[in-house]
Structure 1
């Protein structure tokens, strides 16, 4: 471990760079609580989404990197803010009319529109845990409702009451301009009404530090005094975030770039409470196919279900690993590249030096326990095979794959088997509708006829490189300059696309006789639109 640790200390991979900040945080003495606490937060008014996966996956990568650098134990806490009031009815749930009757109730008091759990908050918490468990994340789950009611936050809530003026000094400047009315009514404390059970956004009229209480007015005007402890109040989310850091001793948390101002406020509040703020890391947000910021309400991005319909979770982890500080398009067309890059990293890993291995994304995706790739055929090649073979099932694909790789099979190559089925779905859903075949021009026809003639007498078997040499030779013989114009013509005439795989590899996979038949169909005009 010492040798690996020395190498990791000098690694430029961003998870190690982040982990180093935590190493320096505790280089003089270990945390009093006995462990380093990583946290991810979740608002259970909606269902888990691809951003949830990204935040937990990236945090886990930093956690594993820290465990390589340090012997201090670690914990990952996935915290659900399920005591928050339901402010609006989500658009993607059933029984919305009934749910509207529960507005402003804590999420753990809102009826479950799905009818499977005691509350909407508990339903979404269960979905979150099942979601995280499905990906094998190691974490502890925490409910705000349980923590508030059990008194886990009592000490720090009393501290917020004691530092009320400082908290208000931090918060009020952020509520100016059009929010003048909110400035006048703002309080970090949101009482849970003993009358209606609702989480009320009302001013704090009086504070009693000795009793640990506040006084507020109910909507009907009645003045009520409640303790700030024991779940009788909840904090507004920005002070709540900071209070949680202080109460639990959170050491590390990630957040989206859009939350930078909130994180800065949280840091100030945390320090006002006399506790150090965690090490924070902000990541860029995702963009849709047109370069617009992805919005859950607009539904203009990929969902986690979308990605997993067409590719493995490991390929999604790679997408999350790469350049988290850079805004990236999260669209259909990034999936094939992510799959192939993931397996390229897997194949390279065994032959790399320890320094290179620690910089390889798959080390971080798999926590250092890197498997071997069983993808003897690339995902992009599977897509082209699905096109040429008009495949509707993975079984059809295996008819070709076995000829190319006789030792491969669904049982021995489960990753390839899953990818074959996913590629068929991807092709039929996202490639086939955009296929546009064209007839060959005169020179292209002559070249295709010669390629067909060469393949018709081919005796070299499924030798991808030798077949690629034949394709090159034909292109050179017919004067294509640059030679990529020849390959572009092949793709457009035979595959209905402007780009494609190394064609020699495609021939080896699809089959020489099958490629001859494909060229015949193109020359006969049976493929052209």
Structure 2
């Protein structure tokens, strides 16, 4: 791999993962993804840039690689990014269905995804981009959804291994979007007709940032953060894609559908009981597909603090391009994966010197 900063290293981590993948064959799919619940920042880009490093190594070895990126835009909107208080009424909605607060794009997701992908291109990173919502609404994951619901008992048993409060015997792995109020975080499945229709009630209470029982006395500030269901009882047609699989099931379904063999992921997904281990079991035992090789990494901080869209402590790829060359950030990300690193803006000149 022709990476200037590592010419004196015997083997770079990207080469090691490429060698592991070669043991599985010479056709590979590297999946990356980003939650679009706020402003995509350099931390969100880390798995994409690192996944691209592995892609380069494999292609240099003559291996056919499909490199994809999925916007997790079907997730519920649970935290309001700083400066976007006007979006409070959309708490609980799928993020894809939220309007652009600035009015320059079709919706909230497009407002952030378009510049994110454009900036990645400036870094020489060009994955095939997918919308998680479109995977459902265009029926792309339909077969995997049907399989998940038919094998709901096996999925429930796997999920319960990692839960303190077990799922009940009526569990169905589908989260409908309410046809009345448009929320996804407050619907509760009540039944399935054995074919294409799931029945639900929009009766839940979804705390946007913390778990609070609806029977508790709460302050006005806390109540403003709660998302209440509209009490509608309805039907959700799986074939119409107006809903989603729970995350751990969805992840496994995507691996199966795309034939994913490798995925970079933050260490919280791979901690004890983390979503990777659950999805891995579901992928192997339910979808009968060999799970991908994980590339685990530590998080970045910004000026010593956690990067957070809701708190406004972010630096985007576009921000970085205004102050420094893209290769310097890639060099920063190409260092040891499992070491937490701080992006200290005042120390960027030192990083440039190290790169040079």
Q: How does 1:260-271 map to 2 (within 5 A)?
A: 260=270, 261-271=274-284
Corresponding position of 2:181: 196
CA distance in 2: counterparts of 1:90 and 1:66, whole angstroms: 38
Q: CA deviation at 1:136?
A: 2.7
Q: How does 1:190-229 map to 2 (within 5 A)?
A: 190-209=175-194, 211-219=195-203, 223-229=233-239
CA distance in 2: counterparts of 1:141 and 1:288, whole angstroms: 27
Corresponding position of 2:135: 147
Q: CA deviation at 1:263?
A: 1.1
Which of 288, 295, 314 lines up with 1:274 in the alignment?
Answer: 288
Q: Deviations over 1:14-71 (max 9, x none)?
A: 1110111110111xxx5xxxx42111101112122111332222111111111122x3
Q: Deviations over 1:113-143 (max 9, x none)?
A: 0101121122222122222223231221101
- Does residue 235 of the first structure (1) align with residue 237 of the second (2)? no
CA contact (8 A) 1:226 1:232 kept: yes
Indicate the structure whose relative CO is greater, using CA pairs within 8 Å and at least 6 residues apart: 2
Q: Deviations over 1:364-383 (max 9, x none)?
A: xxxxxxxxxxxxxxxxxxxx
Higher strand proportion (structure 1 or 2):
2
Residues 340/186 of structure 1: CA separation in 2 closer, same or farther (3 Å cut): farther
- Does residue 59 of the first structure (1) align with residue 51 of the second (2)? yes
Higher helix proportion (structure 1 or 2):
1
CA contact (8 A) 1:202 1:217 kept: yes
Corresponding position of 1:317: 330
Q: CA deviation at 1:322?
A: 1.1
Residues 289/138 of structure 1: CA separation in 2 closer, same or farther (3 Å cut): closer
- Does residue 135 of the first structure (1) align with residue 108 of the second (2)? no
- Does residue 83 of the first structure (1) align with residue 74 of the second (2)? yes
Which of 151, 158, 162 lines up with 1:163 in the alignment?
Answer: 151
Q: CA deviation at 1:229?
A: 2.8
Give unpaired runs (5+ residues) of structure 2.
2-8, 204-229
Give unpaired runs (5+ residues) of structure 1.
2-9, 344-529
Q: CA deviation at 1:11?
A: 5.5
> Which TM-score applies when normalising by structure 2?
0.81
| Count of residue pairs the alignment pairs up | 319
CA distance in 1: counterparts of 2:184 and 2:311, whole angstroms: 28
Q: CA deviation at 1:311?
A: 2.3
> Which TM-score applies when normalising by structure 1?
0.56
The two structures, once aligned, show a CA RMSD in angstroms of 2.7
Q: CA deviation at 1:294?
A: 4.5
